[in-house]
Amino acid sequence: MAAKLTVPISEQQIRALKVGDQVLLNGVVFTARDAGHKYMIENFVKGTCPDSERLMYDVLKEGLKGGVIYHCGPVVRKRDDGKYEFVAAGPTTSIREEPYQADVIGHFGVRAVIGKGGMRDKTLKGCQEHGAVYLHAIGGAAPLIAECCKEVLDVYKLDFGVPEAFWKLHVEDFPCVVTMDSHGKSLHEKVRTDSEAKLQQLLAAG
């Protein structure tokens, strides 16, 4: 049975999760991709927050504490009433955020990162230290996932472009699987090492 998590998520709830656990996520989620992570590192994590970015910092500091970042480049439609809605919301490849993710998790108090393909040692260590997990979303199911994105609450840094902007969403029963937990376990690393071992066996047999 899938565990239901509602944002903000406590560290205790995260520490209770193990790789392989299914999760249904509810509450507020922020999307962020390459431009967003670089922006957070340069302006907030590694540098002094410029006065011009103070309001944005306050939004992220409040929204990401106990919160969730979704690696997603959505397809978005603007309705006649001026509000946005997601048409497609599939996960994007997470490994591009490996240089940044652990620092963002630690600085903002992020509890979960959603994406596809997994991440590596730096992020895994960050999850252990700060009490966070990596949640694998279903690749190739972008329209289905968009149905879980019930409302676009706001958008920030739209000048980055639609895929790279920070989209603030309300999600309901967003399905994910824990593939990196806060105990140092990673299904992605297991798959990688098992695949390499199998490859060496095949090469030796040939």
37 is catalytic: yes
**What is the DSSP secondary-structure string of the chain?**
-PEEEESSPPHHHHHT--TT-EEEEEEEEEE--HHHHHHHIIIIISSPPPGGGHHHHHHHHHHHTT-EEE-B--EEEE-TTS-EEEEE--B-BSGGGHHHHHHHHHHHT--EEEEBS---HHHHHHHHHHT-EEEE--TT-HHHHHHHEEEEEEEE-GGG-TTTSEEEEEEEEEEEEEEE-TTS-BHHHHHHHHHHHHHHHHHHH-
Residue tagged active-site, from 37, 71, 136, 188: 37
Q: Roughly how many angstroms between the first and final C-alpha of the chain, as a whole number? A: 43
Do the beta carbons of residue 146 and residue 86 sit within 8 Å? yes
Query: How many whole angstroms separate alpha carbon 112 and alpha carbon 66?
Result: 8
The residues annotated with a catalytic role in the active site are 37
